[in-house]
Amino acid sequence: MIGVIEFITLLCGIVVSFFSEDLFDIWNDENGLVNWPTALTKDVLPVPCHSHNDYTRPMPLVSALKAGCVGVEADVWLIDEELYIAHTRPKVTHGRTLGSLYVNPLMSLLEERNSAINQTLHGVFETDPDQNLVLLIDFKTNGADTLPYVISHLSPLRDRGYLTHWNGAKVVNRPITVVATGSAPFELLTANSTYRDIFYDAPLELMEDGEPKPVQRARSARRKEEGQGSSGTPSAVHLGTYNPSNSYYASGSYDRSIRFPWKFYITSNQLNRIRAQINEAHRRGLKVRYWSTPSWPRNLRNHIWSVLVREGADLLNVDDLESAIKGHWWSNNEGR
């Protein structure tokens, strides 16, 4: 009997150590909002990492915030007037929605952080109240159809003044910055010239030479499949097409635009291309994010991360949160 009790105790210890303690501190209230432990980000320092496919983690949003990531990604599918979160259509699951996984938890956390009256709005990180969090929404269904529902679902955050927005004259920074990618329609997002609170994920590869260039429509289908669409984009991209009034990120596929470093180091030609893209994006006032960077072998991944941060990339697009936050890739990249 003693042996059985010891075995059960050991098993319980393994289960508790396997799951984050936050799993036991978060629950849904009667209104469907998530109640968060007040100490969730108490000692967390924000780091420039983007939680790629964040919704696939055991604890969406929670894991990213505990790691200090300043960006999270949610793929949305418009089905029967609801926005479901999933990587592919067959993985859509009842209850996993933009509201339940992101909007409601963020509302709960921000309301707790901003409970005092007449105070400056604080962001999700207690150690850095001015640091905003980017919610990257990847439109997986038709952009024109999906956009009105995204706008509607963001209403709780908008109504409380938590969304970064363009007021017709300047960008007003707030705790949450929403960025649209995938099949998001650029021309519809920018139709309102006096107010916008959903910014575009501009195509980094089109900025490399800094000159006007045509959008290659033949590649739009492939770009959509890889996570960044060209739906509703103008026929030609000029220096002023993408700017802080309508865009936040300038993102690109590392694998497609820079190519895999088969020599297992970044060549001079690849480095020149990285520099050209980053410089042109920064000239437009946008933050650079590369996705589809090699994840294996780890030494190569670390080499690429180090070069990207050194050259001015603003965020690391990561799957391995632990490695990203322990590497201190940003330590020599002051001001980012």
Domain membership of residue 228 as a residue range:
2-326
Confidence of residue 262 (pLDDT cuts 50, 70, 90): confident
Q: In CATH, what number is assigned to the domain containing residue 207?
A: 3.20.20
Closest CA to 330 of 287, 285, 295: 287
Question: What's the pLDDT at 231?
Answer: 57
Number of domains, the chain: 1
Residue 202 lies in a domain: yes
Task: Say which amino acid occupies 335.
Answer: G
Residue 49 lies in a domain: yes
Instruction: Please state the φ and ψ torsions of residue 61, each to the nearest 5 degrees.
Output: 70, -45
Beta-carbon-side half-sphere exposure of residue 171 (alpha carbons within 13 Å) = 18
pLDDT digits (tens, 9 = 90+) for 6-59: 444 444 443 333 333 333 344 344 344 445 555 678 889 999 999 999 999 999
**Poorest-confidence range of 39-48, 189-198, 289-298?**
39-48
Residue 332 lies in a domain: no
Prediction pTM value: 0.84
- Does the structure show a pLDDT above 90 at 149? yes
Interior/surface letters 38-66, b for 16+ CB within 10 angstroms, e for the rest: eebbeebebbbbbbbbbbebeebbbbbbb
**Poorest-confidence range of 25-29, 48-52, 123-127, 318-322?**
25-29
Residue 333 lies in a domain: no
pLDDT digits (tens, 9 = 90+) for 63-112: 999 999 999 999 999 999 999 999 999 999 999 999 999 999 999 999 99
Residue 56 lies in a domain: yes
Going from the C-alpha of 151 to that of each of 168, 194, 217, the distances in angstroms are 18, 16, 27
Residue 334 lies in a domain: no
Residue 335 lies in a domain: no
Structure tokens at 302: 């670390």
Question: What's the whole-number mean pLDDT along residues 285-306?
Answer: 92
What share of the chain in percent tops pLDDT 70?
77
Residue 140 lies in a domain: yes
d(CA 85, CA 286): 27
Closest CA to 137 of 185, 175, 173, 172: 185
Question: What's the pLDDT at 16?
Answer: 34
